[in-house]
Each structure stands twice: as structure tokens, then as C-alpha cells.
Structure 1
Amino acid sequence: MLARAAGQRNFQHLRSQTEPRPVSTWPDAEPASASPELPAFVVKAARFFDEKGRFTAWPARTSLQNLCLWVLWSAMPADHAFTEREISDHLNMLHTFGDAAILRRTLCNLGLMKRTKDGRVYHRCEVIPSPEGAALIKLLAGRSTLRRSGTEMQRTAASASR
């Protein structure tokens, strides 16, 4: 009733009109690592990666999930056959939330990876990243985990599985 008396539709509308927003949510505020030519969607997706380039949380929005998976795709070596254990170990080095299965499944559903019908062998599909995916890959390319070569990642995954 108070909101209606003030001429607003509901309490949330009244609160948004009267409370000052924190500086971080102002429209012109950008993270220090973001450049002005990057789309806001790419900057939002980059927040799901830590300073080492690891994927820290599974986004709720499917469009953000799909965009973030381009970074994992780019960190996988091309022309290499992975067993399920090897791809899980490789993905575990690239994320921190401990669910390699959802990453494997979603990478395959998006066509970024393919697997045999029995799920034993995985291959990276060679596709051209979306413009947003390419921008996110470029933005995160300098972070330490993603700078390692595919061969080094294979060696690390092989030693971890022993």
C-alpha cells in the first residue's frame, strides 16, 4: 500500500527508484580487464573463470553455459582421441566445480566434441567458434591454465590418471 500511495506499482519498483545502486551495478562501470569493444555478454561469461583461467561455476543460463564451453573446447588438443577417464581428467584441470560429466555431455550435445556410441572414445570436433566464443577465448587466452599447450595438458592428464 505504501508503494501505491507513492505512485509506484509495487514495492520492488518503489525500492528500485528510491535506493541508490552500488557503484558496481552502474551501467557505465566495467571490470578493469574488459575492453570497450567486448560485448557485455562476453564480459559476463568471463566472470565464470578465475585468474588461472579455470571455469569456476556452471552458469544458470544456457546461453552463458554454451559460451563458456568454447573456452574449454579451445584448451583441448585437436586430433587426439581421449578415453572417458582422460577427458574427465583433462576437464577437471580446466574447471573447479567438480562435474566433468555435465561438461562432457554438453560439449557433445553442442557438437564441440563427438564420442563413440558406447562413450569410450572422445574427439574434439574442428568447428569455427561463434564471434562471442572467439572473443571470450581471446580475452582469457593470457590466463595460465589456458596458455599451456595441448601436449603438456595430455602429459599432465596421463600422469594424473596413474
Structure 2
Amino acid sequence: MKAIETFLDENGKIIRLPAKGEKKREVLLYLAEKFSYNQDYTEKEVNSIIDHWHTFGDYFLLRRELIDSHFLSRTWDGKKYWKESFLD
């Protein structure tokens, strides 16, 4: 957590996403930890969770980054999302 504290506010919300590298991965992992294993989410639920945990109003970017980084997966039509089990 200490490694990413400069990217979080006093409430633990993400204030900005690092541009690249290990810090970016750590911030995305922190966000992915807000999702539960063995649970399916709708896109609306994913957006709501992401929206709750950041302050800069771009859940689209964060959702895409979580998927591109393989922290979250989704069906081809985007109707179902889930947290990847390898994150333990």
C-alpha cells in the first residue's frame, strides 16, 4: 500500500492512474481487490464499484485498464464481468 499512497487520497480513493509500469499495475491491483471472487457483476455494478474508489470521474478508463491487465474478465458481449482467480 505504501508504494501507491501518492496515488490515493485520505479515504483510499484513487486520485490519478500512473502512466505506466509497476506503479500502474499496483494501483490497478488495489482497485481489483475491491471485487470479490466467485461473483459475477454487471457492467453497471462494475462501474459503480470503480466510481466509488476513484475521484477523477473516468470509470471507463479504469474498467478498460482492469480488463486489459487481466484483473477482470468479461463475456464477449460485456454482460458479465468477474475477478480473475489468479490474483490471490
Mapped pair 1:92 → 2:51: yes
Q: Give the secondary structure class of the aligned counterpart of 2:8.
A: coil
Match of 2:84 among 92, 107, 125: 125
Spell out the pairing of 1:110-121 with structure 2 (5 A cutoff): 110-121=69-80
Distance in 2, matches of 1:46 and 1:53, equals: 8
2:4 equivalent to 1:45: yes
What is the aligned partner in structure 1 of residue 37 from structure 2?
A: 78
Aligned residues: 88
Matched to 1:57, the amino acid is R
What is the SS of the residue equivalent to 1:47? Answer: helix
Q: Which runs of 5+ in 1 are unaligned?
A: 1-41, 130-162
SS at match of 2:86: coil
Q: What is the deviation of 1:44? A: 4.5
- Structure with greater contact order relative to length (CA < 8 Å, sep ≥ 6): 2
Listed as ranges, the gaps of 5+ residues in structure 2 are none
After superposition, the CA RMSD in angstroms is 1.6
TM-score, normalised with respect to structure 2: 0.87
Greater Rg over alpha carbons, structure: 1
